[in-house]
Amino acid sequence: MDRRRSDTRERIRAVAMELFAEHGYDKTSLREIAERLGVTKAALYYHFRSKEDIVVSLSQDLRDGIDDIVAWARAESPGPRRSEQIVLRYGALLHDLGKSMIRFWTENQSAFRALDIGTGLRYQFRVLGDLVAAPQQSPLAVFHARQALLAVSWSLSMMGDLDLDDEQSNAAATRIALDILARM
């Protein structure tokens, strides 16, 4: 039963992302999501009370993934190997979440501000940057660390118009991010 409920939640989230991409977050209703799924609004309400709840659940996946990376990094010794692994793990996390979700977060900043999701994500991003820069904590080292992380995240959100599949985009962004780290 739990697996079926989980599968239904994932289908709802996937369909919501499709509709948000097609029509925009603000112009998509729960009714449209339910219709696309072929279920009643009541069935949809069983899993999510609002489209905001859907967005929060999607962003929670990213936050939980970053928390896992931070916990791992804090248990490791600072240095180039750990920095590289943080960037690789961050890239894998974003890659697993998918281009459409990352693009949604980038293109729907008003929803993130209204739900106060962005503040927490910005804080987590800065923590990751500090961990990548360690043991150096100079402003320039932190700048390079954040740029490496941005190379990965921006490749998913800003390069969707290029004729690259997810694997090619991820590989290129990872190479660029590691090149930035090498300059620290």
Distance separating alpha carbons of residues 151 and 154, to the nearest angstrom: 5
Domain boundaries, the chain: 1-49, 51-182
Distance separating alpha carbons of residues 132 and 57, to the nearest angstrom: 27
Q: What is the pLDDT along the chain (184 residues), one digit of tens a residue?
A: 455 556 888 899 889 988 887 888 888 999 999 999 999 999 899 999 998 899 888 888 888 999 999 999 999 999 999 999 999 999 999 888 766 676 677 677 666 666 777 778 888 999 999 999 999 889 999 999 999 999 998 776 667 678 888 788 888 999 999 999 998 8
Distance separating alpha carbons of residues 18 and 76, to the nearest angstrom: 39
pLDDT at 169: 83
**CATH dotted code for 1-49:** 1.10.10.60
Distance separating alpha carbons of residues 84 and 95, to the nearest angstrom: 16
Indicate the DSSP class of residue 37.
H
Measured CA to CA in angstroms, residue 58 lies from 52, 75, 104 at distances of 10, 27, 10
Top-level class of domain 51-182? mainly alpha
